[in-house]
């Protein structure tokens, strides 16, 4: 197990390194930040001074090595716009994005699994057909459009929920989040649901497919033949088997929730990392873009590892390290 984790961590370092090269060089191809930053009326001398100050006069390879050297010490560069360390800018906005992504994830789990289970156990009932039709809509409607419609219906027409911002936050156990105030919960409901919609649909489909398959397995019939209650047959014998793929997907999808919250945050003006990224791209704030992308890569790599470990806990046939010599 330990050897496995160490090997995976080393693989992760390689992945992050390769990603940093792609991101760093890629960002350098798009636009010239100096044009965005400097007063158009500045003379050539000022422009060159600015270029030197930003370190953009050096060859790109040298810039990358400089970046790498700093990155090892945790310094991912300073924002061109704010003049603050990029990492710090992102970390400041991270709680807002994380609370949004976690709420969306919980919605996907607590709505998706029961609905999928129901649809799998009673495939022919009208309720199941409605659930499945709903999940097709959840899959196919574009997130931004659904977000706009939600704002129009619930914020503009009905006036039930606020349309933008994070609302009031409160600090509980050292964590500042809008999840701890009623006003904050009202604010987070719509964007979280919007972000979760696709994932809820995905979890419903996965759970339903797993249930349909498992319900006809002999071990379910055998469990019933043992005289177990339907509750135990479904909640233990069935659910533990179908949770294996569901956990894998949910774990990996959490990364994409964080990464793709960009769209939702933009629509609902949610002050998270995604909105910061969009703003930074528009202003060609290279250090922030690079730092953001590297953090997302790290997030995915970490989640993958956690999913693998969780998987082995759920499925005794995949005990890690057992078969690896």
Partner 1 sequence: MTTKKKGPTLSVHDLRTHFHTKAGVVKAVDDVSFDVKGGQVMGLVGESGSGKSVTGFSIVGLIDPPGRVVSGSIKFKGEELVGASEERLQKLRGNRIAMIFQDPMMTLNPVLRIDTQMTEAIKAHRDVDAQTAWEEARDALGQVGIPSPEERLKTYPHQLSGGMRQRVAIAIAFLNKPDLIIADEPTTALDVTIQSQIIHEAQTLCRKTGTALIWITHDLAVVAGLADHICVMYAGRIVEEGKADDIIDRPLHPYTIGLIGSVPSHNKRGQRLNQIPGMTPSLLNLPPGCAFRNRCKFDDGECLDEPGPTRPVRGRSVRCFHPQRMEVTS
Contacts to partner 1 by CB under 8 A: 217-219, 221-229, 232, 236-237, 240-241, 244, 314-317
CA–CA separation, 7 vs 33, rounded Å?
39
CB of 205 to partner 1, least distance (A): 21
How is residue 273 written in tokens? 């990392």
Torsion of CA 240, 245, 247, 250, to 10 degrees: -150
CB of 250 to partner 1, least distance (A): 17
CB-based contacts of 11, cutoff 8 Å, min separation 6: none
From residue 322, alpha-carbon distances to 162, 241, 250 in Å are 52, 21, 25
CA–CA separation, 158 vs 154, rounded Å?
5
Q: Which is nearer to partner 1, 52 or 122 (CB)?
A: 122
Q: Which is nearer to partner 1, 89 or 233 (CB)?
A: 233
Cβ atoms of residues 276 and 292 within 8 Å: yes
CB of 211 to partner 1, least distance (A): 14
CB of 246 to partner 1, least distance (A): 13
The gap between the terminal CA atoms of the chain, to the nearest Å, is 11
CB of 304 to partner 1, least distance (A): 22
Using only C-alpha atoms, the chain has a radius of gyration, in whole angstroms, of 24
CB of 234 to partner 1, least distance (A): 13
Q: Which is nearer to partner 1, 174 or 316 (CB)?
A: 316
Q: Which is nearer to partner 1, 176 or 229 (CB)?
A: 229
CB of 226 to partner 1, least distance (A): 4
Cβ atoms of residues 265 and 191 within 8 Å: yes
How is residue 23 written in tokens? 């991101």
159: alpha, beta or left, given left = phi > 0 and alpha = psi -120 to 50?
left
From residue 258, alpha-carbon distances to 99, 114, 139, 166, 286 in Å are 10, 24, 18, 16, 20
Q: Which is nearer to partner 1, 92 or 217 (CB)?
A: 217
Q: Which is nearer to partner 1, 172 or 219 (CB)?
A: 219
Q: Which is nearer to partner 1, 102 or 314 (CB)?
A: 314
């Amino acid at each position: 197990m330990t050897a496995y984790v160490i090997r995976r961590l080393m693989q992760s370092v390689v992945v992050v390194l390769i990603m940093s090269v792609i991101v760093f060089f890629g960002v350098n191809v798009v636009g010239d930040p100096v044009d965005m930053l400097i007063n158009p009326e500045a003379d050539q001398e000022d422009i060159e001074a600015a270029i030197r100050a930003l370190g953009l006069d050096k060859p790109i390879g040298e810039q990358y090595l400089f970046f790498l050297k700093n990155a090892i010490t945790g310094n991912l560069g300073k924002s061109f716009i704010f003049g603050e360390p990029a990492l710090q800018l992102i970390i400041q906005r991270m709680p807002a994005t994380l609370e949004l992504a976690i709420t969306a994830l919980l919605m996907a789990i607590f709505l998706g699994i029961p609905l999928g289970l129901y649809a799998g156990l009673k495939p022919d009932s009208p309720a199941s057909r409605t659930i499945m039709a709903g999940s097709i809509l959840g899959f196919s409607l574009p997130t931004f459009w659904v977000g706009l419609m939600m704002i129009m219906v619930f914020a503009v027409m009905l006036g039930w929920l606020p349309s933008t911002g994070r609302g009031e936050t409160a600090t509980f156990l050292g964590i500042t989040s809008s999840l701890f105030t009623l006003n904050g919960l009202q604010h987070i409901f719509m964007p979280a649901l919007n972000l979760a919609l696709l994932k809820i649909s995905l979890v419903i489909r996965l759970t339903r497919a797993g249930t349909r398959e498992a319900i006809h397995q002999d071990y379910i019939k055998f469990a019933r033949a043992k005289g177990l209650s339907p509750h135990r047959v479904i909640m233990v014998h069935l659910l533990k088997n179908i949770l294996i793929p569901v956990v894998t997907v949910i774990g990996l999808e959490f990364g994409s929730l964080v990464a793709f919250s960009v769209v939702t945050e933009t629509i609902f003006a949610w002050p998270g990392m995604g909105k910061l990224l969009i703003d930074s791209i528009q202003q060609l704030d290279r250090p922030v873009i690079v730092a953001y992308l590297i953090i997302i890569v790290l997030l995915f790599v970490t989640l993958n590892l956690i999913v693998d470990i969780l998987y082995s806990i759920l499925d005794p046939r995949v005990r890690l390290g057992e078969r690896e010599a």
